[in-house]
């Protein structure tokens, strides 16, 4: 029996953002059963939708959030439906506090949750989570944000912020490239979190923030199999939670997001600076709408590939973006072809190259860790992401003889 493997065009998740001083945490957990096979083109199609949905628009401590999710690109919901890779955390809002499961998204800015008055919103979820709804009338600290609020009148205003003549409330409408979207209004209320004050001391803390209350959802957001309570935007805008907590002096405007790729999955989401363990930083490309890094080279088994450095340069239509909502990692053709050629040349005595559905694949009878070389993606500042064969290959089936 031979195993058929193909390139996953994938990597593990990247490290994060910049230098800081204290922190706050959100833990990540795996929420789904594994071992469900999807085709690679289904994952690519999902990522194409994901990329279309990216919104285009210092003192303090550490805040810690638990994270749930799976590192496996093939997972299945409890109702048997296939679901996209998803990492999410819990946030507590309102008085008394209620918990909401929200997707962690570095590609957008605003935290929004589903309102109790939402129409066309899912009533159940195929992800195995209980859906909750925010009710402004049930929170003693909730305040409706008026049109006179700075988010509607100042530099904090986004292209999605609205203030119609028919209403005195500051509302929003997010429309995504795949046709899905959400509309609602902004609410000011208490946001609860665990602040790490010392080596092991954790304090229950809170701050008043502005977030969205969704009254209508469409497209994929309205589908039951992918339903969740909302989205926690960790973009660079002033309305993101990280920016708002920084303005309150709770944490520096820095966060770290680690997606665990082995075992039970999950990971951590930390607002503020982590001093230990040691972290290697790679600077962000300035003046970009998303989190861009400078990928400088790729090495296979320690040997740098001959790739024109221009292939990695950030421009209006290319560059390396760190996005927590994308399943696979992608290389431009000028980098992908030399990468595949180098791996193929190294494994040919032990693996039989073959083309399967248009992709470069390999028939392997041994463990891939014994056959395929390690790969490293090298970034500015001396940061390298080391990939094992399991990180850039994916098994697509068995061949029986």
Q: Which of 368, 362, 321, 288 is nearest to 11 (CA)?
A: 321
| Alpha helices, H only, 33-182 | 40-52, 150-153
Half-sphere exposure of 225 (CA within 13 A, CB side): 12
- Report which of 10, 4, 2, 34 is spatially closest to residue 396, judged by C-alpha positions: 4
Distance CA 30, CA 142 (A): 32
Q: Copy the structure tokens of residue 50.
A: 């994901």
What does the DSSP 8-state code read for residue 145?
P
**CB within 8 A of 289, min separation 6: which ones?**
56, 57, 236
178: CB partners within 8 A, 6+ apart: 49, 52, 53, 219, 220
Q: Where are the alpha helices (DSSP H) in 142-278?
A: 150-153, 241-247
Q: Which of 64, 105, 109, 238 is catalytic?
A: 105
Annotated active-site residue 225? The verdict is no
Matching residue, tokens 């008085």: 95
Question: Which residues are CB-contacts of 391 (< 8 A; sequence separation ≥ 6)?
Answer: 8, 10, 11, 12, 261, 375
Determine whether 47 is an active site residue. Answer: no
Element (H, E) at 393: strand 393-399
Catalytic residue among 189, 194, 220, 323: 323
Alpha carbons 146 and 126: distance in angstroms, whole number: 36
Counting every residue written for the chain, the total comes to 401
d(CA 401, CA 343): 26
Distance of CA 44 to the CA centre of its chain: 16
CA atoms of 43 and 328, how far apart (whole Å): 7
What does DSSP assign to residue 76? B
Known catalytic residues?
105, 323
């Amino acid at each position: 029996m031979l195993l058929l493997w193909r390139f996953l065009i994938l990597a593990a998740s990247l490290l994060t953002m910049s230098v800081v001083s204290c922190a706050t945490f959100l833990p990540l957990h795996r929420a789904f059963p594994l071992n469900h096979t999807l085709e690679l083109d289904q994952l690519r199609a999902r990522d194409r939708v994901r990329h279309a949905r990216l919104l285009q628009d210092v003192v303090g401590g550490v805040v810690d959030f638990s994270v749930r999710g799976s590192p496996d690109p093939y997972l299945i919901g409890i109702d048997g439906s296939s679901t996209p890779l998803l990492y999410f955390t819990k946030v507590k809002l309102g008085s008394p506090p209620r918990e909401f499961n929200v997707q962690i998204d570095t590609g957008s800015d605003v935290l929004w949750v589903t309102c109790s008055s939402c129409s066309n919103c899912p009533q159940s979820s195929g992800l195995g989570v209980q859906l909750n709804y925010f009710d402004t009338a049930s929170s003693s600290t909730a305040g409706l944000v008026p049109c006179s609020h700075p988010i509607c009148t100042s530099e904090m205003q986004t292209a999605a912020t609205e203030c119609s003549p028919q209403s005195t409330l500051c509302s929003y409408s997010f429309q995504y490239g795949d046709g899905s979207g959400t509309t609602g209004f902004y609410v000011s209320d208490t946001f609860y979190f665990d602040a790490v004050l010392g080596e092991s001391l954790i304090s229950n803390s809170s701050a008043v923030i502005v977030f969205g209350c969704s009254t209508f959802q469409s497209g994929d957001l309205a589908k039951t199999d992918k339903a969740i309570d909302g989205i926690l935007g960790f973009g660079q805008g002033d309305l993101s939670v990280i920016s708002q907590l920084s303005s309150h002096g709770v944490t520096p405007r820095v966060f770290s997001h680690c997606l665990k790729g082995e075992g039970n999955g999950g990971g951590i989401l930390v607002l503020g600076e982590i001093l230990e363990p040691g972290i290697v930083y790679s600077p962000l490309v300035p003046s970009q709408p998303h989190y861009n890094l400078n990928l400088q080279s790729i090495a296979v088994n320690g040997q740098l590939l001959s790739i024109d450095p221009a292939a990695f340069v950030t421009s209006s239509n290319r560059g390396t973006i760190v996005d927590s909502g994308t399943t696979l990692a992608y290389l431009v053709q000028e980098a992908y072809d030399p990468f595949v050629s180098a791996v193929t040349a190294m494994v040919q005595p032990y693996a039989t190259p073959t083309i399967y559905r248009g992709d470069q694949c390999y028939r392997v009878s041994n463990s891939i860790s014994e056959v395929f070389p390690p790969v490293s993606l090298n970034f500015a500042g001396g940061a390298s992401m080391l990939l094992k064969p399991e990180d850039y290959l994916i098994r697509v089936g068995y061949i029986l003889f």
